[in-house]
Amino acid sequence: KKDYKLVKAAGGIVRDKDHNMLFIFRRGKWDLPKGKMDKDEGKKHAALREVREETGVEPFLIIRKLESTYHIYTEKKDNILKKTYWYEMMADNTQPLIPQLEEEITEIRWFKPDNLTEIYSNTYPLIRDLTDSCLKI
């Protein structure tokens, strides 16, 4: 851990009343809305803010906390260890979907939980595992 800079992030698996799930398309892959936490920002607040900023959707309820995930990457010659706090959330699916273009989000869509083939064929393994664990509970 001493060789990495720790970055904290938060995000969500957003579902509607029919259990559909909200995904974003960023940098050529399907992903979940998430982002870096601001200094002194609470985890739940950051997760709700990131969903709103990246998708335009305002979740109205956090259902539960999901397991946190870790991944590593390099940024400007720094080795980064990113810890992401995840929450399952509810939102109304009639809200306008507004991709945050400055975050390179080009598409946002609701997917039925029994039809995630398109997502699973073009996402990160961590996102697939997180989505699977949410569906099994």
CA-derived radius of gyration, the chain: 14
Bigger pLDDT: 77 vs 137: 77
Q: What is the rounded CA–CA span in Å between residue 91 and residue 38?
A: 23
What distance lies between CA 36 and its chain's CA centroid? 11
* pTM of the full structure: 0.92
For residue range 9-56, list pLDDT tens digits in order. Answer: 999 999 999 999 999 999 999 999 999 999 999 999 999 999 999 999
- Average pLDDT score, the chain: 94
Residue 2: what pLDDT?
81
